[in-house]
Amino acid sequence: MNTVLITGGGSGIGWKLADVQAAHPEVITRKCDLTNEAERIALVDWISADHPETNILVNNAGIQQRFNLLKADVRNNWDYYLQEIKANEEATIHLAILFSQLFAEKEQATIVNVSSGLAIIPMVISPIYSASKAAVHAFTMALRHQLSETAIKVIEILPPAVNTDLGGTGLHNNGEDADEFADSVFRDMQAGKEEIGFAHSAKVLEMSRKEINETVAGMYQKMKAEIE
């Protein structure tokens, strides 16, 4: 039996993944601020001491902000923007390393990093979010290779826009159905896929560089009014 820790499981994609997973292995959740280094370490120590049977980490927590780079008050309010880097990139990378070391002696374990289709085709009006997810994408590839001689499997989920409250209520109402997305992800995981997209993000994984550039430009033209 697997025991799973899902970060960001209180809402959105994390909630749906936890909801689907609950029908199968045990799910462990704990409230903590993942932007805080000490709380991340405390989380791992809690798992090690109280739930040593845990063998799957789903690194899902994240936030998304849309803003105009020329209007962002990064002189007086950098902490606001830094939170996105801490939540999406720093926390994911730190936890992945901590749990890699915790899982190293297990006979079977899995680390799942949730990045985004925007790791490949950045959404220009969410520049830090896109950059942070691109970092997670690159890190996950490195992690997979470094752990290739261990029993730890490394999976990356690259969601498309999914109908959740990521970035704010109502911003993704036209996104993919969260239940259908979660069901598809679990089917792909069971099939042994290491990079998992859905709907548009599955197509993104197969795009040429030219197609990526054209898609980024087209998305920006459609969305730039949101930050003007």
15-55, pLDDT tens digit by residue? 555 555 555 555 666 788 999 999 999 999 999 999 999 99
Helix (H, G, I), strand (E, B) or coil at 176: strand
Q: What is the pTM of this model?
A: 0.87
* Distances in whole angstroms, Cα of residue 25 to Cα of each of 22, 57, 140, 180, 202: 6, 13, 24, 20, 27
Domain parsing of the chain, residue ranges: 3-227
* Distances in whole angstroms, Cα of residue 212 to Cα of each of 117, 118, 202: 11, 10, 13
Question: For strand 26-28 and strand 3-6, is the pairing parallel, antiparallel, or unpaired?
Answer: parallel
145-160, pLDDT tens digit by residue? 999 999 999 999 999 9
How far is Cα 16 from Cα 182, in angstroms, rounded to an integer?
Answer: 6
- Residues marked as catalytic: 129
Q: What CATH superfamily classification does 3-227 receive?
A: NAD(P)-binding Rossmann-like Domain (3.40.50.720)
